[in-house]
Structure 1
């Protein structure tokens, strides 16, 4: 088949209990832009549980069609079952592009699907754009984040994973509707080599997910030593926020890599981002460019973080943070 026979932009939807993950909504918005550039449809693909809310949410954010694949074998992610379903769908409908969130499951599924379809894929992208000639340009980091690479995939379908937070969620339009397609794709139990035994929360997993949180409190080198990171956790707990960290704090061992915010960590777009003792290196600022409101607390009035902050507090964070946490707790108890 020639590349021109492949049509439409697909977005794989990740959802739990009927709630669509933010990265999927971000990719629907981006996929809609790419689809419009090529005069194509934006198709949301849901493998797993079918709920009214999942389909309605996908439509509200821009999907023209929603394809559901359901069954007992898809109740929880397994590499064999999900890859089988996505490959069968791609072989039948021949999409031009498949966008998948760069989550643990998403990265696994994208690589397996590309291998099965013998097509090209790009992982962990920071941008996906339509070129002047209609080609899709994928941008990702190389050399440990020291450089960016742009790639064009010559085979079809093109498959790429995109980091959560690099694109903002659009505004939903609840008046929109989408055509619903249900596909019956079965796989023998013997072909599924893994099964879900249990979900185990990791240490420090309390609170909202960093990529999905409406409020994030992050700490940096200004905290000076690991035990002082408790100030960040206490403020986050008072606000119902997620905990983040700068690369310097993670490199020092004060916070796990899963909490690193920045170009080489997680790119986020919360409603409120509070940076505590973070100077504002370029790679960190690249991770918070989609934040709606940024508050910076730093004793150095010349810190670069103040150039992007909506509100700045020049002061000793060891005085500011306990006072702020105490006031928030008072407000919440009155």
Structure 2
């Protein structure tokens, strides 16, 4: 899931695509952007390896609401038969991590700062002690 700030893609978007590519091994990484004007950033996400790219910016997703964004993301995940979801530090994560994995029937790994290995051998690195140790 990509993020924009002041109508520019944030670096965390490209970090998420790279992490998804490492974890996906030979699978496809699908980029997703929300909000008005999201489609204008799709080409840049595709250049970094997030294809196909879904831009969700009409209906109930123009202004952020948890339910509308979660429902739209769930629909994209179902359409693409997603095996995982990579989101940077986004305002939605704090709320989504409670409900979204259950809706998708999947697990959840939060606060990762790195991935070691690829595909099925991937290990997700998280900081401990509030980021004071790894």
TM bracket (short chain): 0.7 to 0.9
Superposed CA RMSD in Å reads 2.4
- Does 1 or 2 have the higher relative contact order (CA < 8 Å, sep 6+)? 2
Note if contact 1:15-1:21 (Cα within 8 Å) is conserved in structure 2: yes
CA distance in structure 2 between the partners assigned to 1:58 and 1:30 by the alignment? 13
Question: Paired residue for 2:27?
Answer: 40
SS class of match (2:63)? coil
- Give every structure 1 segment of 4 or more consecutive aligned residues whose post-TM-superposition deviation is greater than 4 Å: none
Question: Paired residue for 1:31?
Answer: 20
What is the correspondence of 1:263-274 to structure 2 with a 5 Å cutoff? none
| 1:67 aligned to which of 51, 54, 58 | 54
Is 2:77 the counterpart of 1:90?
yes
CA distance in structure 2 between the partners assigned to 1:144 and 1:46 by the alignment? 29
Note if contact 1:141-1:147 (Cα within 8 Å) is conserved in structure 2: yes
| 1:137 aligned to which of 113, 117, 123 | 123
Deviation at 1:99, TM superposition (A): 0.4
Deviation at 1:116, TM superposition (A): 2.1
Deviation per CA, 1:161-198: give whole Å up to 9, x if none. Answer: xxxxxxxxxxxxxxxxxxxxxxxxxxxxxxxxxxxxxx
Note if contact 1:19-1:53 (Cα within 8 Å) is conserved in structure 2: no
Note if contact 1:114-1:120 (Cα within 8 Å) is conserved in structure 2: yes
CA distance in structure 1 between the partners assigned to 2:39 and 2:75 by the alignment? 24
Give the length in aligned residue pairs: 134
Deviation at 1:21, TM superposition (A): 1.5
What is the correspondence of 1:1-334 to structure 2 with a 5 Å cutoff? 12-16=1-5, 18-35=7-24, 38-131=25-118, 134-145=120-131, 147-148=133-134
CA distance in structure 2 between the partners assigned to 1:111 and 1:130 by the alignment? 27
> Please, what TM-score do these two structures have when normalized by structure 1?
0.36
> Please, what TM-score do these two structures have when normalized by structure 2?
0.80
**CA separation of 1:110 and 1:18: change in aligned 2, threshold 3 A:** farther
Note if contact 2:112-2:126 (Cα within 8 Å) is conserved in structure 1: yes
Q: Which has the higher strand share?
A: 1
Note if contact 2:38-2:57 (Cα within 8 Å) is conserved in structure 1: no
CA distance in structure 2 between the partners assigned to 1:95 and 1:52 by the alignment? 21
Deviation at 1:110, TM superposition (A): 4.1
Deviation at 1:100, TM superposition (A): 0.2
Note if contact 1:73-1:81 (Cα within 8 Å) is conserved in structure 2: yes
Query: Which runs of 5 or more structure 1 residues have no equivalent in the other structure?
Result: 1-11, 149-334
SS class of match (2:120)? coil
CA distance in structure 2 between the partners assigned to 1:110 and 1:20 by the alignment? 23
Question: Paired residue for 1:317?
Answer: none
Question: Which one has a bigger Cα radius of gyration?
Answer: 1
